Amino acid sequence: MSVTYNVNLKYFASIREAIGQGGESVSTQAVTLQALRDELIARGGAYAEALAHGRAVRMALNQDLCDASAALSEGCEVAFFPPVTGG
């Protein structure tokens, strides 16, 4: 039996620019951040380019930086953003 989660996505910086929106709500059967990223890449187009596995993409779950194995939950917030450098 598969579980479906409703999650809120947020995109920042160059990822937001590539995808053309700052966020969206999606229904997913992904159970981890990596599985969700894979689903988004499978959409093709700007999603595949901006979130490609060869690209450095940071992910946060409910405003906490997480690795790709973090588990999703109903109503969670997932953010995708490029690594930030600064001075």
d(CA 66, CA 55): 16
Q: Which residues pair with 25 in a beta bridge?
A: 8
d(CA 59, CA 65): 6
What does pTM read for this prediction? 0.93
Domain extent listing, the chain: 5-81
Q: What does the pLDDT look like over 19-36, one tens digit per residue?
A: 999 999 999 999 999 999
Q: What does the pLDDT look like over 38-83, one tens digit per residue?
A: 999 999 999 999 999 999 999 999 999 999 999 999 999 999 999 8
Sign of the CA dihedral with 55 first, then 61, 67, and 72 last? negative
Name which of 57, 64, 28, 58 is nearest 43 in CA terms. 28
d(CA 75, CA 19): 22
- pLDDT band for 84, please (50, 70, 90 cuts): confident
Q: Please give the CATH topology (third level) of the domain spanning 5-81.
A: Ubiquitin-like (UB roll) (3.10.20)
